[in-house]
Every structure is written in structure tokens, then in C-alpha cells.
Amino acid sequence: MQIPSPARDQRHDELRGLCGGAVFLPGDPGYDDARIPWNLLVDAHPAAVVYPAFAEEVSEVLRAAARLGLRVAPQGTGHGALSLDSDLRDAVLLRTSAMTELTIDRERRSAWVGAGVRWGDVIRRAGAVGLAGLHMSSRDVGVVGSSLGGGISWYSRRLGLQSGTVTEVEVVLADGTVVRATDDEHADLLWAARGGGGGFGVVTGMAFDLFEVETVYAGMLVWDIDHAEVALRTWARWATDAPEEVTSIARLFNVPDVPEVPEVLRGRQVVVIGIVVMSDGARGATLIEPLRAIDPQMDTMDVVPAASVATLHLEPDDPSPAYANSVLLDELSDEAIDVILRTAGPASGSRLTTTEIRQLGGAIGRPSSRPGALDRVGGRFLLLGLGLDPDPSLWPAQRADSLKLLAALRPWAHRSVYLPMAEDEVDVERGWAPSSWERLRAIRAAADPNGLFVLPHEPARTSASRASGARE
């Protein structure tokens, strides 16, 4: 349905009164800061940026946008931004970062979060009472956004995807109606919220399970980059057979010289294997012995508070220019490792900041006990090529190196993709099982029949220059 667009000045006048005045229009002081997400490569110029504080204000925004012939692009903490070339001139960027309600229920082992809550807040509050959520590798990522995408945690090989822990969502539909979706009411919306990525409404709040995790055996093993081959081959064999209580990530890491990383690593090229074992120290030490046997030059493995895992991956908290892309791998054979080393290893000339390989399998690959749009992720490993650099002249080269690496690994690629870490050309249907994709499309069409919402991954993506942020 085409809605006649009012004149620009009329649009601005009506938008200006929304959200108690928490609105930024083109030309306003603060507009440029408001429109920029976590990924500083994204340079969209929306018709307005609005900051609703609660669900009723979201309703007002949606009704006003529909009336004015504008679309709406929901965004939480700034991660998971739209494509680098997204044209939002006829869209309202709806930032939910002001919705920071957070409640921890120790007895029920559950949390309620507003759409602006970041994982660091949950980690701190839950950890204080001996609980943990299935948080991401960065504490700066939004809880709601990562849950909508699926959410692979340090604990997921044992406990599954974060989306499978979601028990209730508050959703504002395209017509402005506010509903609470549970397994008993509006169950289709809850199903879509469990890994469906959005497009069916604005999720303003969410309840999910927490777990009794007070301490873990965790840390890093580090080698100089010239030990990359032996470290990767040993790790791949070990990770393939490791029990589900183990989760690990191996990285070829060109470490930035920044204060956020340990001084001993700054400015170096290294191999880093981050490990979390959900066990005591004695069992953890036994499990990682094959890796210690190849003499890491740095070993920080120890029994630590679960909350400390939030900083293990050394991810930047502050907004950064980032290019990332990934592929799911069915196996990590010697031949695949040869390709990785040749394409991104120490002699490759690769300009990527990090080439990381995440260990999957276990509960990640099994159907969740709670049905959802994404109830599992296929493949045994996920490889991510990431470029992080403040120098704009390097961004095209980092993108090219990432795409080259992914293309070289096609012989081992799984049929599906993990959309929160997929950029550039992607067949979005591969983000879900075929039956789930069809159901998700039907739910989106019923909830948003006029296409008000800008989808997190537009189905019609064809240009190789279209890259959405992979960090939510």
C-alpha cells in the first residue's frame, strides 16, 4: 500500500513532537552522533532518529511513521546495523537504547530486560547472585538484539543458543498495538523472536532463563604467529572431539596496539586460543592438556568467576569501524587448515585484524527444547574474518581479504549461514531451515502487512557492496 508522503517540513514538525522531544532531525545538533551505530563504517542518513523510552512511545512512532509515509528501522545498542549502503532517507531510525529496565529474579533464575540493556549489565547483576546468562563474547552487545539473532555464547555447546532461553517478549506491532507474547498467547510472535531476527515488530522487552554458573575454568593460550600451523592443527583435532562442557575460539590475531588488550600482546602477531570449561580446575586442566603439550608462550587458564569471561575475547567496547563476514564449516580438515594458513596465515599478507574459528557442535547443533525460528546452528565450526582499523584506506582491502578467505573455504562450507555474522551477498533463506523460513515469512507478513519495518537482512540483497553489521 502506497501512502502519500506529506511535505518535508510537515514531516519534521510531526516527528519533532515524538518521544518527549528525544528526536534528532537532519541538521540538528547531535543528529550525526545519533545516526551512527557501533560500526562506524555505516553511514546512513535517516529521516529522523528517535529515542522512545517505553513501549507506548514506540507505538506513537510507528503510527506517525505510517501516517507520514516513512518506514521504521529498529535498532538497539547500535550493533547489528543495516547495510553499509542502506538508504534510510525515507525511514525513521528507532533507537531503543533508552529502555534499560533490568530485573534479576534469583529464585526463578530468570531476567527481564528492556531493549536497551547490554550484556555487561546482565553479567554484572546476575553474577552478583551466582547466576549467568548465555551472553555473547562482547559485553557491549545488546541482549534483545543478540537473542533475536540466535546468540552463540561461551556456554552454548552445553546449554544451547540464547534464543532458546527466551520465555516472553513485549512486542509493538506495526499498527502500534503492544502485546506480550508467551507460549500460550501470541505464540507465533514468541516463536519468531527466538532467532527470527526481527521484522515482525519492535521487541521492547524480553524475559529469559539464567543458569547456576558461579565459576569456570577459563583463559587464553598464546603462541607467536610462527607457531600457527602446529597450534591450529592440534586445536582442530582436539576441538572436534572435546566434550560439550568445553567451548573454544582459535584466532590468528594481528593485535592492535591499544590499551584494551594486555600489554604483553599489543602490536604482535599471535595465535590465541580462548577456552571456557564449565568444570572445576582439575578436570579443566586435564581436558586442555593436549594444547598445553605444544608449549604455549602465555597461559592464563585458571578457575575464575563466570563474570570475568565477558572480557576474555578482548573485543572493543567503543564504537569502531568494522568489517566482518563468516562461513559455517562442516569440518576443519588438514586441507581446510592449509587453505586458512595460505589465505590468512603469517605469510599470506592478509590485512584482516583477526581470523577466528569458533568451535560449535554440542547443544548448538541440536534442536532446542523451546521451538523457535532458529533452534540450532549447523556445522562444526564458524570461521569469521574481521577487519578493525581506523584508517579508511584499509577498509576495502580488509573486505577483499575476508571475501577471499570465505571463497577459498567453500568446499567445506555448511549449507546454512549464521546471519548475525554474515555480510555482503547472502541468501537470507539459508539463515533458517526451509520450513522455518516459510513460517517466519508468514508471521512477518501477518504482523506487518504494509512493510513498515526495514528488515535486518532484506531478502532482495544482491549487491556485493551491501554489508550489514555482524555484531548484534
Look at residue 85 and tell me whether its pLDDT is greater than 50: no
> 388 in a domain, yes or no?
yes
pLDDT at 41: 64
% of residues, the chain, pLDDT over 70: 90
Give the range of the structural domain holding residue 392, as residue numbers without chain letter: 216-421
Look at residue 470 and tell me whether its pLDDT is greater than 80: no
> 109 in a domain, yes or no?
no
- Give the pLDDT band of residue 78 (cuts 50, 70, 90): low
Q: What are phi and psi of 437, to 5 degrees?
A: -60, -45
Find the CATH number of the domain harbouring 238. Answer: 3.40.462.20
Distance, in Å, from the CA atom of 7 to the CA atom of 14, rounded to the nearest integer, reads 11
Look at residue 83 and tell me whether its pLDDT is greater than 50: no
The predicted-structure confidence for 116-160, as pLDDT tens digits, reads as follows 999 999 999 999 999 999 999 989 899 999 999 999 999 999 999
pLDDT at 232: 97
Residue with cell 540466535: 150
> 234 in a domain, yes or no?
yes
pLDDT at 251: 96
Cβ atoms within 10 Å of 142's Cβ, excluding its own:
27
Residue 46 in contact with residue 93, Cβ under 8 Å?
A: yes
- Give the pLDDT band of residue 296 (cuts 50, 70, 90): very high
The predicted-structure confidence for 303-320, as pLDDT tens digits, reads as follows 999 999 999 988 766 666
> 75 in a domain, yes or no?
no
Name the least confident of 152-161, 172-181, 380-389: 380-389
Size (the chain), residues: 472
CA distances (Å), origin 248, targets 163, 261, 309: 20, 19, 12
DSSP string, 78-113: S-S---TT---TTEEEEE-TT---EEEETTTTEEEE
Residue 435 in contact with residue 404, Cβ under 8 Å?
A: no
CA distances (Å), origin 192, targets 76, 157, 444, 450: 18, 22, 9, 18
More confident of the two residues 472 and 183: 183
Distance, in Å, from the CA atom of 311 to the CA atom of 302, rounded to the nearest integer, reads 14
Which residue type sits at 12? H
Look at residue 5 and tell me whether its pLDDT is greater than 80: no
Distance, in Å, from the CA atom of 336 to the CA atom of 342, rounded to the nearest integer, reads 10
More confident of the two residues 428 and 193: 193
pLDDT at 465: 33
The predicted-structure confidence for 268-280, as pLDDT tens digits, reads as follows 899 999 999 999 9
Distance, in Å, from the CA atom of 150 to the CA atom of 368, rounded to the nearest integer, reads 11
pLDDT at 3: 46
Chain-wide mean pLDDT for the chain? 89
- Give the pLDDT band of residue 112 (cuts 50, 70, 90): very high
More confident of the two residues 469 and 121: 121
Residue 388 in contact with residue 322, Cβ under 8 Å?
A: yes
> 400 in a domain, yes or no?
yes
Radius of gyration of the chain (CA): 22
> 235 in a domain, yes or no?
yes
> 107 in a domain, yes or no?
no
For the entire predicted model, the pTM comes to 0.91
The predicted-structure confidence for 388-437, as pLDDT tens digits, reads as follows 877 777 888 888 999 999 999 999 999 999 999 887 777 889 999 999 99
Domains identified in the chain, total number = 1
pLDDT at 44: 81
Look at residue 452 and tell me whether its pLDDT is greater than 70: yes
Q: What is the mean pLDDT of residues 426-451?
A: 94
> 334 in a domain, yes or no?
yes
